[in-house]
């Protein structure tokens, strides 16, 4: 998926370069040439202000607070308005949306960026929605669900029965809060990212990295001795092969959450890039006739993204549950992928 993304990005940048000379010669009167690659990267990236839209003369932007920590100088908090259009404030400036100090000293950027603001909104939304659902249960007890409660109940039950119970087994209850939170967090943020003006939060590698690391930590902290036995003395593997198997298994521990991180990031980012590319076509061709095609494809991709939004949330949750399930699994006479189905006797490899 990541490679695909890179190819896509390369393709996009080619088109930009290919377009530029013609644009500059033919439309020399234009103030600035339209660069889809830059526009798309700007859209899927993070920024210190929330840019809504621009007219010919005005930019409609919400300036967000900048919180910078510099060793020796302490914390400075100010509005990102002070840094707009390359201005320098308190010795800080923005270089490609990156906060740097003028003198080149180290800056730790804890700003409430667009993504952080979106994250906070989604947190409030999640809390509001699910406390409302919980209130429904408090009010109706074990009666039939109603309203928002009945919308989310099948999803919660699905996560519990199809994801947690099947993947983790009898110890699933401990992990339900994490699984449900991760699922709804990813889903809600995916949907918020699809909204006009929304931030690309779940398509940000920092966010997916954090979620993947949390999954890794939960897996490691709930692992039992069978899990480590499988890694350091993989059953069914001859002793001389263990020096090869152990590093492979150890890499496997990290690769699993790494795949989680990249999968979510790449899927969501790719979706945004494709949608934006179709919209960019209008500006590249500078023609109204291309817009029906563009809109049709854009709409199609957007609908696909609605599906991807819930699918990726489900996949992340399911894989998290499976990794946890692998870590908490009690020892049983495994068939080492050699035995038959349910009815068959487990093949003992002694």
Q: Which two tokens stand for residue 305?
A: 């993204």
| From 72, 104, 177, 196, residue interacting with another protein (rule: CB under 8 A) | 177
| Residue selected from 3, 96, 332, 350 as contacting another protein according to rule CB under 8 A | 96
Q: Tell which one of 156, 231, 304, 310 touches another protein (CB under 8 A).
A: 156
Q: Which of 191, 194, 211, 327 binds another protein (CB under 8 A)?
A: 211
Position 112 contacts another protein (CB under 8 A): yes
Distance CA 76, CA 53 (A): 29
Q: Is 340 left (phi over 0), alpha (psi -120 to 50) or beta?
A: beta
Residues 6+ apart with CB under 8 A from 216: 253, 254, 256, 257
Instruction: Provide the minimum distance between the beta carbon of 167 and another protein in the complex, in angstroms, as a whole number.
Output: 17
Regarding 204 and contact with another protein (CB under 8 A), the answer is: yes
Can you tell me which of 178, 258, 285, 297 binds another protein, judged by CB under 8 A?
178
If we measure between CA atoms, which residue out of 209, 309, 302, 212 comes closest to residue 268?
Answer: 309
Question: Can residue 205 be called a binding residue for another protein (CB under 8 A)?
Answer: yes
Q: Write the CB contacts of 267 (distance below 8 Å, at least 6 apart in sequence).
A: 1, 203, 308, 312
Choosing from 101, 181, 226, 234, the residue that interacts with another protein (CB under 8 A) is: 181
Could you give the CA distance from residue 315 to residue 321 in angstroms, rounded to a whole number?
10
185 binds another protein (CB under 8 A): yes
Q: How far is CA 317 from the centre of its chain?
A: 12
Residue 134 interacts with another protein (CB under 8 A)? yes
Token representation of residue 203: 């398509």
CA distance 278 to 288: 13
Q: Cβ(294)–Cβ(279) under 8 Å?
A: yes
- Tokens describing residue 111: 């700003």
In the complex, least distance from residue 251 CB atom to another protein, rounded to whole angstroms = 20
Applying CB under 8 A, does 311 fall inside the site for another protein?
no
DSSP, collapsed to helix, strand or coil, labels residue 92 as strand
**Cβ nearer to another protein, comparing 82 with 226:** 82
- Smallest separation (angstroms) from another protein to the CB of 182: 8
Least distance from another protein to the Cβ atom of residue 269, Å: 7
Total residues contacting another protein by CB under 8 A comes to: 52
Q: Which residues bind another protein (CB under 8 A)?
A: 2, 41, 44-46, 67, 96-98, 108-113, 115-116, 119-120, 123, 126-127, 130-131, 133-134, 137-138, 141-143, 153, 156-157, 160, 173, 176-178, 180-181, 185, 204-207, 209-211, 214, 265, 269
């Amino acid at each position: 998926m990541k490679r695909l993304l890179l190819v896509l990005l390369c393709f996009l940048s080619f088109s930009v370069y290919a377009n530029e000379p013609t644009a500059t010669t033919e439309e020399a009167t234009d103030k600035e040439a339209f660069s889809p690659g830059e526009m798309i990267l700007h859209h899927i990236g993070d920024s210190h202000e929330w840019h809504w839209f621009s007219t010919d003369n005005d930019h409609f932007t919400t300036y967000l607070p900048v919180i910078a920590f510099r060793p020796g100088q302490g914390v400075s908090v100010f509005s990102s308005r002070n840094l707009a259009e390359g201005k320098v404030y308190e010795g800080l400036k923005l270089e490609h949306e990156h906060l740097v100090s003028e003198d080149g000293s180290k800056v730790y950027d804890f700003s409430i960026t667009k993504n952080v603001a979106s994250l906070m909104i989604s947190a409030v939304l999640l809390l509001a929605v699910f406390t409302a659902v919980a209130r429904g249960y408090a009010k109706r007890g074990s009666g039939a669900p109603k309203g928002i409660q009945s919308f989310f109940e099948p999803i919660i039950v699905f996560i519990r029965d199809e994801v947690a119970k099947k993947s983790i087994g009898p110890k699933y209850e401990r992990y339900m809060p994490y699984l449900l939170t991760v699922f709804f967090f990813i889903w809600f943020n995916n949907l918020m990212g699809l909204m006009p003006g929304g931030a690309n939060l779940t398509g940000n590698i920092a966010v997916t990295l954090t979620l993947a690391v949390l999954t890794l930590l939960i897996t490691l902290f709930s692992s039992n001795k069978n899990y480590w036995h499988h890694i350091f003395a993989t059953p069914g593997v001859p002793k001389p092969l263990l020096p090869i198997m152990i590093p492979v298994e150890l890499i496997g521990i990290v690769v699993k959450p790494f795949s989680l991180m990249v999968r979510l990031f790449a899927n969501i980012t790719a979706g945004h890039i494709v949608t934006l590319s179709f919209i960019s076509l209008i500006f590249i061709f500078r023609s109204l006739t291309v817009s029906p095609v563009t809109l049709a494809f854009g709409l199609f991709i957007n609908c696909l993204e609605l599906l991807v939004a819930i699918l990726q949330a489900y996949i992340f949750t399911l894989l998290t549950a499976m990794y946890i399930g692998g870590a908490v699994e009690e020892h049983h006479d495994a068939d080492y992928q050699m035995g038959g189905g349910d009815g068959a006797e487990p093949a003992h490899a002694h």
